Amino acid sequence: MSPARTAVRTARRPTRAQVRRRRRTWLVVVALLGAGIAVGISKIDVEQAIRDLTLPLQHDDIIRQQAADKNLDPAMIAAVIYAESRFRDQESHAGALGLMQITPQTAHVIERLSGGTTFVTSDLSNPQINISYGSYYLRYLLDRYHGNEIAALAAYNAGTGNVDRWGGADLRASAIGFPETRAYVDEVLGKQQDYRDQYADDLGLDR
């Protein structure tokens, strides 16, 4: 073998120290990449957990179905559920039940209006039935008050009798007679926009 070739090979062959340095470099790169991936996943998980706590969404398939069936904004249905129950199946002190907090009395009215004949109170613990009844009632209220969302939401919270006295289809937020109902309407309308912004894909909304 010629000295020239030997010199070339010797120049190209890394020393043991170079090999060790390269190995350390690769280990550092791999560690950094692994840490980056872990941090990225953790950040995503934390952001998702925060969103689930501050703006939860469940049963989006039912919400989309009922919104399409009753010509409602799915973000409004989600916002009403948020304001009523935070997506928890529960009973209020007033006896309202389920995700959309429907009283048995209101449920019987909805059943009569919708032509149903088989309702029992325990049905309100079923998400499909509860959201279906709540969405039906929202549609009914919007129609009753000629599309006035403020009046419809105020009636959902405080009853049609109060809303009729406050102005009916012409009701403005400033004319709502109960501070808690005014706060409720403000919360629903605010959360409606939040659900549009943060859950557009889940709710089948166009961006």
Residue-level pLDDT, tens digit, the chain, 207 residues: 433 333 333 344 556 665 566 666 666 656 655 665 655 656 667 777 888 889 999 999 999 999 999 999 999 999 999 999 999 999 999 999 999 999 999 999 999 988 888 899 999 999 999 999 999 999 999 999 999 999 999 999 999 999 999 999 999 999 999 999 999 999 999 999 999 999 999 999 986
Question: What local confidence, expressed as pLDDT, does residue 5 receive?
Answer: 36
Question: CA 37, CA 31: separation in Å to the nearest integer?
Answer: 10
Identify the active-site residue in 84, 149, 180, 187. 84
* CATH number assigned to the domain covering 60-198: 1.10.530.10
- What is the pLDDT, as a whole number, of residue 1? 45
Contacts of 13 (CB under 8 A, 6+ apart): none
Kindly list the domain boundaries of the chain, sorted by start residue.
3-54, 60-198
Residue 19 is predicted with a pLDDT of 58
Q: Is 149 a residue of the active site?
A: no
Q: What pLDDT is recorded for position 30?
A: 62
Contact between residue 153 and residue 171 where contact means Cβ atoms under 8 Å apart: no
Q: Any alpha helices (H) in 55-206, and if so which ranges?
A: 60-70, 74-85, 104-114, 127-144, 149-158, 160-166, 179-198
